């Protein structure tokens, strides 16, 4: 009998740890650079009346022997409904037969693989010895960014800003408990958070620049995470003009990443884009060139990251006996 394993979000959270996800995501970046993945562009549905969208993200990673399709929303106003901004479901498919191996909650997977992608970028693009982190936005994604940065940096100080005071204060309290050796503080402004910082991670749905060029010192690494749809941007374009820009996927980033608005306005051109992170991971291109260089990782989120993280959760669930088996396909 053909059975499909169903995993709830609670199951997935039990199964995944950041170190394993970091390694899987780093490996799949390399596989992409070596041309061993299939990943069509994201497909979007826009719910303009509700300030939201829905995305469909298919992929096939041959060397991992897995295919997956994720359906994910982004609704920034969901706080008013006591719902997450991002919710996702992932179907894991056996490429040999096309049968559905698993259906699982993909919200935590999305958060974990996004944090892991930022961590991989910091491994390859930040200055050695980077210890000061700024988080702009203190939602769920900030939690997994902290998890990843704790793996790849010698964290000493983290400054957090969020437009909602209560959110950033609660985040600082929680992270202070989980990372007692790290000095956590709630910044009064974005400028206060990012000045004199080694690594800046932006996690907002902003459609206008919120991080100013004058605030960014030489040697800073920036993870631009929030701009993941056309029209979104978080960084003043002058920062991009000064920086080495690395993207997760050239085609996806030019349409929906941090670079999409500056490209459309002609402020930068595609010649300004240094390359994809996978090329650096695979050794095809060098990473940071000097301690003075400003580096930017434009992260739009890749379906292949979801696939390998979902496979990790699936395999661990089988060993742990978690989930419910259902006969769905026949």
Residues assigned a catalytic role: 70
Question: Helices in 153-221 by DSSP H: which ranges?
Answer: 165-178, 190-194
Supply the DSSP symbol for 284.
S
Q: What is the secondary structure of 241-271 as a DSSP string?
A: HHSEEEES-HHHHHHHSTTHHHHHTTSS-GG
* Calpha distance 260→281 (Å, rounded): 24
Structure tokens at 24: 């899987």
Cα separation of the two ends of the chain: 8
| Phi, psi torsion values for 134, nearest 5 degrees | -120, 130
* Calpha distance 85→137 (Å, rounded): 12
Neighbour-count burial of 192, counting CB atoms closer than 10 A to its CB (0-12 exposed, 13-18 middle, 19+ buried): middle
* Calpha distance 222→121 (Å, rounded): 9
* Calpha distance 322→303 (Å, rounded): 24
Residue in 252, 259, 256 with CA at minimum distance from that of residue 237: 259
Structure tokens at 40: 């069509």
Structure tokens at 257: 């990443």
* Calpha distance 161→138 (Å, rounded): 7
Structure tokens at 281: 């991971």
Q: What is the Rg, in whole angstroms, of the alpha carbon atoms belonging to the chain?
A: 19
């Amino acid at each position: 009998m053909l059975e499909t394993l169903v995993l709830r979000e609670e199951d997935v959270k039990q199964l995944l740890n950041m170190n394993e996800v970091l390694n899987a995501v780093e490996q799949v970046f390399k596989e992409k650079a070596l041309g061993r993945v299939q990943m069509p562009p994201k497909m979007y549905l826009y719910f303009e009346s509700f300030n939201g969208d829905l995305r469909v993200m298919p992929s096939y990673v041959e060397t991992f022997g897995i295919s997956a399709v994720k359906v994910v929303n982004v609704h920034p106003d969901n706080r008013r409904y006591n719902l997450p901004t991002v919710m996702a479901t992932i179907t894991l498919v056996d490429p040999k037969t096309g049968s559905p191996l698993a259906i699982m909650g993909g919200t935590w997977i999305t958060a974990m693989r996004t944090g892991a992608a930022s961590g991989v970028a910091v491994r390859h693009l930040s200055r050695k010895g980077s210890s000061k982190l700024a988080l702009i936005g203190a939602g769920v994604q900030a939690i997994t960014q902290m998890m990843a940065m704790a793996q790849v940096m010698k964290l000493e100080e983290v400054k957090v800003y969020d437009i909602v005071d209560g959110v950033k204060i609660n985040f600082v309290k929680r992270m202070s408990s989980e990372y007692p050796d790290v000095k956590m503080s709630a910044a009064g402004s974005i400028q206060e958070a990012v000045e004199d910082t080694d690594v800046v991670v932006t996690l907002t749905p902003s459609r206008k620049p919120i991080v100013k060029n004058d605030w960014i010192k030489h040697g800073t690494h920036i993870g631009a995470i929030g701009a993941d749809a056309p029209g979104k941007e978080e960084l003043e374009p002058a920062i991009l003009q000064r920086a080495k820009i690395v993207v997760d996927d050239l085609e996806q980033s030019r349409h929906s990443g941090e670079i999409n608005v500056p490209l459309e306005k002609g402020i930068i051109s595609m010649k300004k884009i240094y390359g994809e992170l996978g090329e650096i991971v695979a050794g095809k291109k060098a990473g940071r060139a000097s301690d003075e260089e400003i580096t930017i990782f434009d992260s739009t989120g890749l379906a292949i990251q979801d696939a390998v993280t979902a496979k990790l959760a699936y395999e661990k669930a089988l060993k742990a006996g978690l989930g419910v088996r259902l006969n769905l396909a026949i």
